[in-house]
Amino acid sequence: MFSNLADSLDKTFRNLRGVGKISESNITDALRDIRLALLEADVEFSVAKEFVAHVKEKAMGVDVLKSIKPGEQIVKIFHDEMAELLGGDQVPLDLSDPGYVLICGLNGAGKTTTAGKLALRLKREGRKPLLVACDLYRPAAIDQLAVLAKQVDVPVYTPEASETDVVKVAKDALEWAKTQNHNVIIFDTAGRQEVDERLIEELKRLHAFLQPKETLLVADSATGQQAVSVARHFDEAVGITGIILTKLDGDARGGAALSMRAVTGKPIKFAGEGEKLDQLFEFHPNRMADRILGMGDIVGMVEQVASKIDEKDAMKSIQRLAEGKFDFYDFLDQMKMLQKLGDMKGLLGLLPGFNKIKKQIPDAAFDPKRMKRTEAIVLSMTPDERRRPEIIKNSRRERIAKGSGVKLVEVNQLLKQFGEMRKMMRSPNKMKNMMKQMGGMPDMGKMPNFGKMPGGLGSLGGGGAGDLGNIDELMKKMKGKFPF
């Protein structure tokens, strides 16, 4: 998401930075390009027009025009305005008593899955959520919520198949909730293919009865221009308190996020970036503005990794690397950590400047099947071979290939790449020098919880904010050295 917008803005700002002197003429040209980029990203016309007007007003200030680096000043103005458009500071949920959360939206937006994701997230934060199925039109939605509740180990209330009154369902659910140990109740409601009066009237009745502290609109990031009318309609009907954007990991152009926030004035509170139940993240406007401008989101990356990697296992791995030890047992541990992280392409997308070089990386590099084949090769080795890879000669290689069901050439490639990686792991200076070339990396060693990163990345600092410096040279050096 936002990749096309980010590419268009990058080109515009690169041209602006190269201008020796800023004038009203070249600012106007740049802002025209920005407006077109926003419209192409499905940002609603009036939102794009007003946004560009705000940027122009500040960009034409005397301090900017007379500054040493006016191009950089304008980029900063754009960043700040973008963060403001997305909502300024991150807004947490209001879960004060009674902790009712009403989920609403159109069919296909991902309401039911989002309800399950939210329940898991709140549970991990130490709360005791319950789920209530209030979609009386789609039995499959009730069954889906029950399955999700089981997966996240959260109690769920499901109505009788003959029930047609959503308010009665809510009343019965609240009576049931008294028998449960809970402090948050999440109500999953019915949706339609389009906003219609029947849906809205039912939602109004349920909202009037519950008087929830949070009414969250779940919206598909790919909604496009329709996002504005959908958000406005739901907000006028029940007064939404926030928005949850789904499918942020898809190919959506991103205009929904910008338009819905601007039109309703309600904050985007969460974003879903994947199908797994743990892939619901707090929406931070400043971080999203960074991502749109190609600056990455290192803090978000750290949070994702820290939530999925066991600190003791990571520290054990770091200690082994620090001692210059690295065998196929360590390699297996590293692979398991990577598998826990899930979508590596999405995670790497949080690195500054990654969008500029992602096309250079073949899709096969992110194929989980490839990692499974590599794992099969290692598991076909004897314990002694994993500890001492140097003893794996021709006859052993042939046996390993047969045992793992792969060709001999794949075994040879893995051993060669493993040897290269082993040399690199045993030379901290080489690793550190390579990471220093990534000019966009902050000093990770100073960031909270970064010690949980696998492979000791917390000690490999870098420069200040910006793009990945000599990334082409870095990619050439790393090519072929990491078998997964």
> Can you give the residue ranges of every domain in the chain?
3-86, 100-293, 303-478
More confident residue, 435 or 286: 286
Is 246 among the annotated ligand-binding positions?
A: yes
Task: Tell me the pLDDT tens digit for each residue of 272-320.
Answer: 877 889 888 888 887 777 767 765 555 555 555 666 666 676 677 666 6
Instruction: State how far the Cα of 452 lies from the Cα of 310, in Å rounded to an integer.
Output: 7
Please work out, in degrees rounded to the nearest 5, the angle formed at the alpha carbon of residue 81 by the alpha carbons of 78 and 84: 150
The annotation status of 249 as a binding-site residue, yes or no, is yes
110 is in an annotated binding site: yes
- Residue 146: pLDDT above 50? yes
For residue 143, pLDDT over 90 is answered with yes
Ligand-binding site membership of 112 (annotated):
yes
What is the CATH code of the structural domain delimited by 100-293? 3.40.50.300
188 is in an annotated binding site: yes
Q: Would you say residue 382 has pLDDT above 60?
A: yes
CA distance 301 to 406: 34
Q: What is the pLDDT of residues 386-430, one digit of tens each?
A: 988 889 999 999 999 999 999 999 999 889 888 887 777 666 565
**Hey, do 3-86 and 100-293 end up sharing a CATH topology, with the first three levels equal?**
no
The pLDDT score that the predictor gives to residue 454 is 34
Superfamily of domain 303-478 in CATH is Signal recognition particle, SRP54 subunit, M-domain (1.10.260.30)
Q: What is the pLDDT of residues 319-369, one digit of tens each?
A: 666 666 778 888 887 777 776 666 666 556 555 555 555 555 555 556 667
224 labelled ligand-binding: no
Is residue 262 part of an annotated ligand binding site?
Answer: no
342 is in an annotated binding site: no
Answer yes or no: is 189 a known binding residue: yes
C-alpha atoms less than 13 angstroms from C-alpha of 482 in its C-beta half-sphere: 16
pLDDT of residue 479: 47
Is 106 labelled as part of a ligand binding site?
yes
Summarize pLDDT for 193-236 with one digit per residue, the tens: 777 788 889 999 999 999 999 999 998 877 766 777 888 889 99
pLDDT of 3 above 80: no
Q: Which residue has the tokens 């898991």?
A: 120
Taking the C-alpha atoms of residue 64 and residue 55, their distance in angstroms, rounded to an integer, is 12
Tell whether residue 407 is among the known ligand binding residues.
Answer: no
109 annotated as a binding-site residue? yes
Is 33 marked as a binding-site residue? no
Average pLDDT over residues 124-141: 92
Please indicate if the annotation marks 28 as binding a ligand.
no
Q: What angle do CA 252, 258, 261 make, to 5 degrees?
A: 125
By C-alpha distance, which of 408, 411, 431, 407 is closest to 421?
Answer: 431
pLDDT at 228: 79
Q: Any binding-site annotation on 306?
A: no
Q: What's the CATH superfamily of 3-86?
A: SRP54, nucleotide-binding domain (1.20.120.140)
Mean per-residue pLDDT of the chain: 76
Q: What is the pLDDT of residue 467?
A: 40
Per-residue pLDDT tens over the stretch 72-103: 777 778 888 888 888 777 788 999 888 999 99
Instruction: Give the pair of three-digit tokens for residue 130.
Output: 């319950």
How do residues 441-482 score in pLDDT, each as one tens digit?
344 333 333 333 333 333 323 333 334 444 444 444 444 444
pTM here is: 0.64
**SS3 assignment, position 354:** helix
118 is in an annotated binding site: no
3-state SS of 130-152 is EEEEECCCCHHHHHHHHHHHHHH
